[in-house]
Structure 1
Amino acid sequence: MVTTEQLYEIYKKQPIICTDTRAITTGCLFFALKGENFDANTFAAQALADGAAFAIVDNPKIAKSDRYLLVDDVLTALQNLAKHHRKQLNIPVIGLTGSNGKTTTKELIRAVLAEQFKTFATKGNLNNHIGVPLSILSMQSDVEIAVIEMGANHQKEIELLCEIAQPTHGLITNVGMAHLDGFGGFEGVKKGKAELFAYLKTNHGFAFINRNNPYLLEMSSKADLNKVIYYGTEKENTISGKLKHSDPLIEFEWANQSTTYEAKANLTGTYNFENILAAICIGDFFKISAEKINNGLANYFPTNNRSQLTKTENNTVICDFYNANPSSMAAALNNLKALNSTHKTVIIGDMFELGPEAAEQHLLVAQLAQQNQIDQVIFIGKNFYEFKDQFNGDFFATPEAAKEYLINNPIKNSLVLLKGSRGMALEQLLPLI
């Protein structure tokens, strides 16, 4: 069996990790992970033939030459290798989790920190038990600071990711009605996210906390954190801010202990203001000047279908269809209500991973959409479709059915919110809006 230390010596010479035979690069290390429907041990020979330097496998029958590195469990080997690599990096690592806004906040923090430091940030949504190790192992020795996004859909997952990423600083954006099925309800969500605070307490790390969020205050109090930096709307915080305008893009002012500054961001949605303040707070903590902080924020343009404002030939679209849960859906609907437009349209798709609360949460969102006096509401998905006889609006069981409707009934001159869970694939509707 190959030990972590032996594997690390090989990794230092071959620092490219691959877990997909469709993306093999010459000289990479292929980790033969198992999935629900596949065992990549069976692909190891092909990976080597395609140019991988070594294949890390956990099936002794597969290991037929010294280019196969046998371990007890490939996933554990990957995670342990990442832990070992992280220990060699004497840099600040900001661990970031939350129910909503993780990726946008991560990108805002990256944009601010990159004004002064060689900054690494999680790419895409590589934020789970496989993605975090891959992120850590893609960090090179010249990185000065890192932002690691941590996603979770059950308890103890954040704890595991913290053990791998070993954050020195941490931020929970918020806690909301997300992944209720895996967490076992809202209290389970709070307990799961608070695992980041527990790690910071044990390891004497710093926590950045939004003082306007009572749940975060409660969770940080329970964790008995003693290294806390607060941000929020009140002057008592290390960083405070005031939202001045958000129709459609955000304009605001923020203040540290001595000076107030005016700033702008290329984001829509009042709910993003707290994400912006978090990035400012972290930038200020690491002694980045206000000018550089504002410059980083101004130069960030969302491109990931999260709060992204897009002009089409016929409409203005708020593209927020990367994912959805009841909390983020309510925030998006309330934000649309506050925006000025002569005509507003909502196209919303089902929210996933809600377990026994799915029916109730979809009902509440449908009620909110009706209450917000929106000109046209289109509901998509089997969960929303259950309420087709209870509300005004157009209901479609599938995106395909909605596409046919939009072809025959085009939307024009409207401000459109397009939002739903990733599995609804609502991006297929954008060309028709």
Structure 2
Amino acid sequence: RLAPTLVTRGNLNNDLGVPMMLLELRAEHQYAVMELGASHQGEIDYTSNLVQPHVAGIINIGTAHLGEFGGRDGICRAKSEIYSHISETSIVPAEDDYAEQIRAAVKTEKTLSFGQGGDVYATDVELHPQSATFTLNTPQGTITVNLPFAGEHNVQNATAAVAFSLAIGISLDDIVAGLEQAVGAKGRLNFIPHKDFLFIDDTYNANPSSMRAAAEVLAQQQGIRVMVTGDIGELGSSAAIEHYKLGRDLVSVKGINFVVAVGEFAPAAQEGARSTQYGKKMQAFLNQEQALPFLIDLIETHHPQPMSFLFKGSRFTHMETLMAALMEKL
């Protein structure tokens, strides 16, 4: 709240959305925070040329849009296009497995890195069920942060936000105040207590990395922990194997009692689950209508024990519909 700021709304981050957001810039805006996304090579080159950022960078390479880019090397190349259009400071992740390739794309003299081994990093991290506490280490000093978001991944996101903010000259005290007052976006790890249950709405979108991160957050919650997953889109020819690996990994997360997979690739996830000793944790359904009675039975079986549910899937799966249907039945 330091100054009038334009921020990307929703997911207006592609070759159409970015120009739409730029058209909203007004003389009174002192800052603009723009998200640039890509579903093909050359898109970030085009949008970052329009934006002409003073400061820009990559948070991580991740696994989103795997299909369009034919693998993570392609994702790295596409995201790294941003570094050709920065006038002041390039932000880079210090501990990404593509850190070397990312650094090779940097063109500016000034860089600021975040994550372990970087300029901005977290130590003494304590993960709580719905928040996190850590010591923030920066070139401007060290300070304790009480972050109102759960999960190790959000601590990493916070250190990235600090690097971007320091690079545009915002003071450390103002940055920490901003982090501690931040409010989550709808459908991104929103905690909703309902009757005797906790519902975690993480339905905004999903990719393989964010699914795994969400599972770790659920594992921190109380009682019987149930993860309800929809299909992940945009994985191309690797969709079946990625869902298989996801099923295998989700049931193996310590503290998760049940995983309910819904959608076309739910059987692939279940196969992955069955490749482990925890196969019985996974139930697969082709659609939400089939999954709902199972979830109701699960509640009836375990009542009155406390239960925590996390719902997550790619945007097109509309997992919030299943969550709302279950909440209505309680």
**1:210 aligns to what?**
93
Give 1:424 shift.
Answer: 0.7
Q: Tell me, in whole angstroms, the C-alpha distance in 1 between the residues paired with 2:182 and 2:170.
A: 17
- Return 5+ residue gaps in structure 2 as ranges: none
The answer to whether the Cα contact below 8 Å between 2:263 and 2:286 also exists between their aligned partners in 1 is yes
| Alpha-carbon distance in structure 2 between the residues aligned to 1:264 and 1:152 | 32
> Which residue does the alignment assign to 2:24?
138
1:175 aligns with 2:61: yes
1:262 to partner: Cα distance:
1.1
1:264 matched to 2:146: yes
How far off its partner does 1:351 sit? 0.5
Q: Which amino acid is the alignment partner of residue 96 of structure 2?
A: N
Larger radius of gyration: 1
Q: Which amino acid aligns with 1:427?
A: E
Corresponding position of 2:111: 228
- Cα deviation code 1:188-244 (max 9, x no counterpart): 1111111112333xxx4411122122313422224454321122234xx43232252
Q: Give the corresponding residue for 2:84.
A: 198
Aligned twin of 1:51:
none
Q: Which residue of 2 aligns with 1:426?
A: 319
Question: 1:267 Cα deviation (Å)?
Answer: 0.8
Question: Equivalents in 2 of 1:387, 1:368: separation in Å?
Answer: 9
Letter in 2 for 1:292: D
Whether the 8 Å contact between 1:230 and 1:238 is mirrored in structure 2 is yes
Is 1:400 matched up with 2:269?
no
- How do 1:367-382 and structure 2 match up within 5 A? 367-373=248-254, 374-382=256-264
Aligned to 1:341: 222
SS in 1 for 2:204: coil
Aligned to 2:237: 356
Structure with the bigger RCO (C-alpha within 8 Å, sep 6+) is 2
Q: 1:310 aligns with which of 192, 213, 223?
A: 192
Query: Is residue 89–residue 167 contact of structure 2 (8 Å, CA) maintained in 1?
Result: no
Cα distance change, pair 387–213 in 1 and its aligned pair in 2 (3 A): closer
CA contact (8 A) 2:56 2:164 kept: no
Q: d(CA) in 2 for partners of 1:152 and 1:258?
A: 33
Q: Which runs of 5+ in 1 are unaligned?
A: 1-113
Instruction: Give every structure 1 segment of 4 or more consecutive aligned residues whose post-TM-superposition deviation is greater than 6 Å.
Output: none
Q: What is the CA-CA distance between 1:422 and the residue it aligns to?
A: 0.7
- Which amino acid letter does the alignment assign opposite residue 246 of structure 1? L
State the TM-score, normalizing by the size of structure 1. 0.68
Structure 1 residues 147-156 or 216-225, which shifts more? 216-225
Give the structure 2 partner of residue 286 of structure 1. Answer: 168
Amino acid at match of 2:47: L
1:415 correspondence with 2:290? no
Q: Does 1:275 align with 2:157?
A: yes
Asked if 1:125 corresponds to 2:14, the answer is no
Residues in 2 aligned to 1:148 and 1:417: alpha-carbon distance in whole angstroms: 29
Inter-partner Cα distance in structure 2 for 1:147 and 1:289 = 17
CA contact (8 A) 2:153 2:213 kept: yes
Matches within 5 A, 1:31-70: none
Whole-Å separation in 2 of the counterparts to 1:344 and 1:159: 43
Alignment partners' CA distance in 1, 2:134 and 2:217: 16
* 1:366-416 Cα distance to aligned partner (Å, 9 max, x none): 001221242111111111124546442221101222224334543762222
Deviation, structure 1 residue 278: 1.4
Code of the residue aligned with 2:92 in structure 1: it is: I
Deviates more, 1:343-352 or 1:402-411: 402-411
Distance (whole Å) between structure 1 residues aligned to residue 99 and residue 169 of structure 2: 25
Give per-residue Cα distances to partners, 1:24-68, cap 9 Å, x unaligned: xxxxxxxxxxxxxxxxxxxxxxxxxxxxxxxxxxxxxxxxxxxxx
Report the alpha carbon displacement of residue 257 of structure 1 after superposing the two structures with TM. Answer: 2.9
Would the alpha carbon gap of residues 146 and 306 (structure 1) be closer, same or farther in structure 2, given more than 3 Å must change?
same
Distance across 1 between alignment mates of 2:322 and 2:124: 32
The 2-side partners of 1:258 and 1:426 are apart by 42
1: distance between equivalents of 2:101 and 2:269?
36
Greater mean alpha carbon deviation, residues 384-393 or residues 420-429:
384-393
Q: Which amino acid aligns with 2:49?
A: E
Identity of aligned residues (%): 28
1:174–1:366 Cα change, 3 Å: same
* Equivalent residue for 2:211, pick from 315, 326, 329: 329
Q: Distance in 2 between matches of 1:243 and 1:424?
A: 37
